[in-house]
Chain A
């Protein structure tokens, strides 16, 4: 890594917990034998704010967090293909308001499950290889974006089943795409990152007519004029290894590699020369023992806090809005030793869930501080 120039140093957080909040394990479940790769609360529909879904192996399970650490099992889905191994899940919502679960994994097929009817809604075949992450556009929750090993990011309309845009080509990723995220307010903007060590910001502004067209498309989805977006508006080389998770924090980007830290940086684009620009690294949130890839962090609804697990089963909860960064809490339990692939933070940050390589789900609840 190049030396950081004077006056551009990031503010690095201290690993001493602030003790502002305390969390305690209130429940744990064994879902199956296979590793759990994703867990996600439903932030799309306020009726289901306490409902979450997990994926692992060929199954998708829906739970509800109740008072007193109680977890209710609501629904369970299993792919008939035993070789399927889901890597990611995201909540979405159909035009008619039905809650949808969108999951993808090693088979490269996106499964859209209609949780309101407990049946498969649609399956999207098209990705050339496994799917590493799916995210939903909160402003238009029937739009989802998927990141795949086939080096592309694709935008789908779950309502009509159309692949609207493919973000790949001349300026695209040169290895697996591991993570993707919608900008919170700029509906045209997404950020993706992957095994080519870069984070790329894409704009679909010029292609928005196709997005609109996808809602009114009545012909076969395969006949839709899917467009390639070949050039990102910004490419950042913030990391020197796989970048396995990125999220927008307002106009800034939180991303992590395998360097035991989450990095917050500001993309500084040059107005008239797309693709060029520099990244100003603002803050760093250290996460010890977090040097294996495919560990994703998650945030509460308002992005006030981020929770990330590590290789040893510990969780670090960082305050995202403070500067310098404040470690809210460090969660550890003697029996939690397996790598935590992903966490989920509830709407208000009072509950943190973790899903582990050994197939367990842990629930942590905030303890009223004395």
Chain B
């Protein structure tokens, strides 16, 4: 509706004219109605013109194109046919010599019998040889792991039109009671023209009740909507004016702008889109905006005592401490150091090459400028993280995120390795520069200092850093906090990984001390690194609450009570499991400090805590032992557990399973007890997707079937039944549609979800039902997710078709086994605008 905006000036003038015309206060409203009416007519007329212009433009665009098409069409000729047969094109030949000719009736025809083409040409009809057709199916997409249904695919609340192939009619079915509950009223969306009317009216007449009434007549919507819209327009108008002002001012260097940004904003994508359970971005199974759970299982960073630490560079706080601790007269040595900076630089280049670490560009001021991504992981993460944004920020965040993801993996190794190297070279070189004795002599002092410093990690707040020579930007502060979270009070690592080029180790160390001094009142008693863990813990809740605040919009699936008790007839189920479906697992957020006790949501839901839960007990040696002795012990534990302690025991069990899994469960290569019967670890095969090759072919029974490529033994894992995870409510609705289509791929998973393999799934969705099956399905809890695994019930030959029992709810036979319903639904729901392929007789 661009034309509306371009033409708005003319409308304005019309409006003005009208307004002047009816200036009298008395019939102000009458004037309003008239002028709005006129405005409306004008808008409509302009719309007609704009449509015409559009069509005209479109026609012109197309014209050249069609001339090209005509050219193409006239350029066709037979290339090979005439050569091959010498007879020329048979179609052209037929035009000379048609099968028969039917004369026209220029003056109409009366009762004459119709010319029957079929009979006339039957002798010359060419037969198209029979081609065997394939069983029907709906196009589906292969899925190797379950996916959450995307919201836009929901059929709940939508009108569904069925097509009845027998009657050739369509039926619109909507489950009225359900849908009525949902508000039908859509929000009124204002077009530009409507905005214009509202704005003009508002400017001239304000927004009195009478005015609103008139506006509604022309524009629609509700009074509140109009009022709201008016506000929006007002703001837009102001914003536009401000924009003009701003534009002139705007030339501030954007270089530093990113430093003003908030880290949590920058990490938003990471926090919200990264699935910590699957370690992928944009996880289709667990969705985005998961609750962030800081797992208690997380190990604290490997702490290196300051004794062992070597200066990370010339700006290292350790060096500065050395200097500080030197007798006052030795200031000269610091001077010396700076003098010999060049040689130090040489060292560094050497070191970087040795350590294979990214290069640090160096300017004379000693500031690091560009840091290449630490590793591929960081790159991967940041690519997703920041599509745009300055390169510099990217690299900073890259390293931040990289380290965050890799957590303690990196920190133990490369940086320290670097430090070592630095020391190695540094000592050599510095011998001439620095008095080595000074350094080592002050070793004790350093220790003391360290103790002093390692006091109490405060909950960091805004701290005025006016006294700081180097200003701390918000982003830097955030990165610093993250650094503390990841590395603890190791300013070398923080400087290196999170703030390269921004802050030196020394600055960070200073900032660290300053912030402590600013917040810690007393409490200087605790010393030593033993407290580090404690401090770490104390700090974490603070950090977490900050993150929690950010992540308000947790996606929760609504669960309708109404549908929970209702199980449609045609869902595939697992029967052997007790009648109760499993409960969906949601990681609990129990805090590490508080014992995960009776109030734990996991316990209350009847699930077990998993490694994704907030609190997982540190893996004790006993569990490790259990892992070694095999699964048997764990099973026993599980069985014997009483209500109170079952929780913890199950937890151990799962941890054990994981351990056992990592150790290579099942093949006996690591000396674990041989698997026995059903006790084999199916989870592992599921987790590692070690499935059998399944073939899709025409079933011996009906339609499609799934077949085995290779022979298998009894209880072997064949594959997973994958599909979309849909809610029970959704499944109810879809089930009704599928009932009509006579094919359903619904599979009851747990209390919250049903699997639907209709649109997405794997070949096992085609495995047919049998009451005497050779396979069985089982819902298995793997790494926090319920999944459906298909196992062989007997030894099976290669090429055998796979059958399992769908286990329809008892007392309800499959829909196709029942006679067609006397359709009360159909009668009641015949809609007004129904479509028919055929005319009703």
The A/B interface has a contact count, at CB < 8 Å, of 323
User: Which of chain B's residues 65-98 have a Cβ closer than 8 Å to chain A?
Assistant: 65-66, 69-70, 72-74, 76-81, 85, 89-92, 94-95, 98
Do residues B48 and A11 form an inter-chain contact, with CB atoms below 8 A? Answer: yes
A282/B55 contact (C-beta < 8 A), A26-B104, A30-B114, A241-B161 known: yes
Pick the contact of A150: B90, B139, B161, B188 (CB < 8 A). Answer: B139
A73/B126 contact (C-beta < 8 A), A8-B1, A128-B136, A321-B55 known: no
B542: shortest Cβ distance to chain A, in Å? 37
Do residues A29 and B76 form an inter-chain contact, with CB atoms below 8 A? Answer: no
A117 to B89, CA, bound (A): 7
B466 within 8 A of A: no
- Which among A108, A128, A339 has the highest number of chain B CB atoms within 10 Å? A128
Which residues of the other chain, A, contact B95 by a CB distance below 8 angstroms?
51, 64, 72, 74
A292/B836 contact (C-beta < 8 A), A5-B190, A9-B44, A170-B141 known: yes
Do residues B191 and A115 form an inter-chain contact, with CB atoms below 8 A? Answer: no
Which residues of the other chain, B, contact A257 by a CB distance below 8 angstroms?
835
A32 to B115, CA, bound (A): 10
**Which residue of chain A lies nearest to B89 when distances are taken between CB atoms in the complex?**
A116
Pick the contact of B837: A24, A69, A293 (CB < 8 A). Answer: A293
A190 to B120, CA, bound (A): 40
Pick the contact of A292: B56, B121, B837 (CB < 8 A). Answer: B837
Do residues A176 and B136 form an inter-chain contact, with CB atoms below 8 A? Answer: no
Which residues of the other chain, B, contact A8 by a CB distance below 8 angstroms?
1, 47, 191, 193
Which residues of the other chain, B, contact A169 by a CB distance below 8 angstroms?
139, 141, 759-760
Do residues A6 and B218 form an inter-chain contact, with CB atoms below 8 A? Answer: yes
A272: shortest Cβ distance to chain B, in Å? 11
Pick the contact of B117: A10, A29, A79, A280 (CB < 8 A). Answer: A29
A174 within 8 A of B: yes
Chain B's interface: helix, strand, loop or mixed, by majority? mixed
B706: shortest Cβ distance to chain A, in Å? 16
B332 within 8 A of A: no
Count how many chain B residues have C-beta atoms less than 8 Å from C-beta atoms of the other chain: 99
Pick the contact of A7: B125, B189, B194, B835 (CB < 8 A). Answer: B194
A148 to B138, CA, bound (A): 9
A66 to B131, CA, bound (A): 35
Do residues A116 and B115 form an inter-chain contact, with CB atoms below 8 A? Answer: no
Do residues B126 and A27 form an inter-chain contact, with CB atoms below 8 A? Answer: no
Pick the contact of B836: A111, A151, A293 (CB < 8 A). Answer: A293
Which residues of the other chain, B, contact A139 by a CB distance below 8 angstroms?
69, 72
Which residues of the other chain, A, contact B245 by a CB distance below 8 angstroms?
none
- Which among A8, A31, A109, A321 has the highest number of chain B CB atoms within 10 Å? A8
A75 to B129, CA, bound (A): 16
**Which residue of chain B lies nearest to A98 when distances are taken between CB atoms in the complex?**
B81
Do residues A59 and B59 form an inter-chain contact, with CB atoms below 8 A? Answer: no
Which residues of the other chain, A, contact B55 by a CB distance below 8 angstroms?
252, 282-283, 321-323
A252/B58 contact (C-beta < 8 A), A59-B118, A116-B90 known: yes
Pick the contact of B94: A47, A75, A252, A259 (CB < 8 A). Answer: A75
Which residues of the other chain, B, contact A20 by a CB distance below 8 angstroms?
none
A71/B101 contact (C-beta < 8 A), A8-B191, A51-B95, A324-B48 known: yes
A25 within 8 A of B: yes
Do residues B89 and A73 form an inter-chain contact, with CB atoms below 8 A? Answer: no
**Which residue of chain A lies nearest to B125 when distances are taken between CB atoms in the complex?**
A76
A99 to B88, CA, bound (A): 12
**Which residue of chain A lies nearest to B3 when distances are taken between CB atoms in the complex?**
A7
A-contacting 9-mer, from B105-113, B341-349, B350-358, B799-807: B105-113
B677 within 8 A of A: no
A195/B163 contact (C-beta < 8 A), A73-B121, A363-B104 known: yes
- Which among A7, A80, A125, A138 has the highest number of chain B CB atoms within 10 Å? A7
Do residues A250 and B103 form an inter-chain contact, with CB atoms below 8 A? Answer: no
Do residues B124 and A76 form an inter-chain contact, with CB atoms below 8 A? Answer: yes
Contact-residue size bin, chain A (C-beta under 8 Å from the other chain): 35 or more
A68 to B104, CA, bound (A): 6
A301 within 8 A of B: yes
B197 within 8 A of A: yes
A62 within 8 A of B: yes
A309: shortest Cβ distance to chain B, in Å? 13
Pick the contact of B106: A26, A31, A46 (CB < 8 A). Answer: A26
Do residues B129 and A70 form an inter-chain contact, with CB atoms below 8 A? Answer: no
Chain A's interface: helix, strand, loop or mixed, by majority? loop
A207 within 8 A of B: no
User: Which of chain A's residues 1-44 have a Cβ closer than 8 Å to chain B?
Assistant: 2-3, 5-11, 24-32, 43-44
A332 within 8 A of B: no
**Which residue of chain B lies nearest to A154 when distances are taken between CB atoms in the complex?**
B139
Question: What string of 1s and 0s marks CB contacts (under 8 Å) between B148-173 and chain A?
Answer: 00100100000101010000001000
A166 to B139, CA, bound (A): 9
B220 within 8 A of A: yes
B137 within 8 A of A: yes
B701 within 8 A of A: no
Do residues A61 and B117 form an inter-chain contact, with CB atoms below 8 A? Answer: yes
Do residues A31 and B48 form an inter-chain contact, with CB atoms below 8 A? Answer: no
B90: shortest Cβ distance to chain A, in Å? 5
Which residues of the other chain, A, contact B108 by a CB distance below 8 angstroms?
24-25
**Which residue of chain B lies nearest to A281 when distances are taken between CB atoms in the complex?**
B51
A77 to B190, CA, bound (A): 56
Question: What string of 1s and 0s marks CB contacts (under 8 Å) between A109-122 and chain B?
Answer: 10101011111100
B21 within 8 A of A: no
Do residues B70 and A46 form an inter-chain contact, with CB atoms below 8 A? Answer: yes
B134 within 8 A of A: yes
Which residues of the other chain, A, contact B125 by a CB distance below 8 angstroms?
59, 76-78
A241/B134 contact (C-beta < 8 A), A7-B193, A71-B104 known: no
Do residues A168 and B139 form an inter-chain contact, with CB atoms below 8 A? Answer: yes
**Which residue of chain A lies nearest to B91 when distances are taken between CB atoms in the complex?**
A115
Do residues B133 and A109 form an inter-chain contact, with CB atoms below 8 A? Answer: yes
A128 to B91, CA, bound (A): 32
A96/B163 contact (C-beta < 8 A), A3-B220, A29-B114, A80-B129 known: no
**Which residue of chain B lies nearest to A65 when distances are taken between CB atoms in the complex?**
B104
Do residues B127 and A80 form an inter-chain contact, with CB atoms below 8 A? Answer: yes
Which residues of the other chain, B, contact A221 by a CB distance below 8 angstroms?
none
A74 to B90, CA, bound (A): 10
**Which residue of chain B lies nearest to A34 when distances are taken between CB atoms in the complex?**
B118
B367 within 8 A of A: no
**Which residue of chain B lies nearest to A260 when distances are taken between CB atoms in the complex?**
B833
Do residues B170 and A242 form an inter-chain contact, with CB atoms below 8 A? Answer: yes
A60 to B101, CA, bound (A): 17
A207: shortest Cβ distance to chain B, in Å? 16
A73 to B193, CA, bound (A): 57
A120 to B72, CA, bound (A): 25
Which residues of the other chain, B, contact A150 by a CB distance below 8 angstroms?
136-139
Pick the contact of B128: A11, A74, A113 (CB < 8 A). Answer: A113
Which residues of the other chain, A, contact B189 by a CB distance below 8 angstroms?
5
Pick the contact of A70: B52, B104, B839 (CB < 8 A). Answer: B104
A25 to B40, CA, bound (A): 46
Do residues A292 and B102 form an inter-chain contact, with CB atoms below 8 A? Answer: no
Which residues of the other chain, A, contact B556 by a CB distance below 8 angstroms?
none
Do residues B121 and A76 form an inter-chain contact, with CB atoms below 8 A? Answer: yes
Apart from A72-B95, A96-B79, A357-B839, what are 5 other A-B pairs with CB-CB below 8 Å? A45-B73, A60-B128, A125-B134, A128-B136, A169-B759
Q: Supply 20 A–B pairs (Cβ within 8 Å), ascending by A.
A: A3-B220, A24-B108, A28-B109, A29-B116, A31-B118, A32-B118, A46-B73, A72-B98, A77-B126, A77-B128, A79-B130, A81-B130, A129-B136, A138-B72, A139-B69, A166-B139, A184-B66, A242-B170, A303-B66, A357-B839
Chain A interfacial positions (CB closer than 8 Å to B): 2-3, 5-11, 24-32, 43-49, 51, 59-62, 64, 66, 68-81, 93, 96-99, 107-109, 111, 113, 115-120, 123, 125-126, 128-129, 138-139, 148, 150-152, 166, 168-170, 172, 174, 176, 184-185, 195, 197, 228, 230, 240-242, 249-252, 257-259, 266, 280, 282-283, 291-294, 301-303, 311, 321-324, 339, 357, 360, 363
- 6 closest A-B pairs by CB: A69-B104, A7-B193, A152-B139, A72-B98, A5-B191, A128-B137
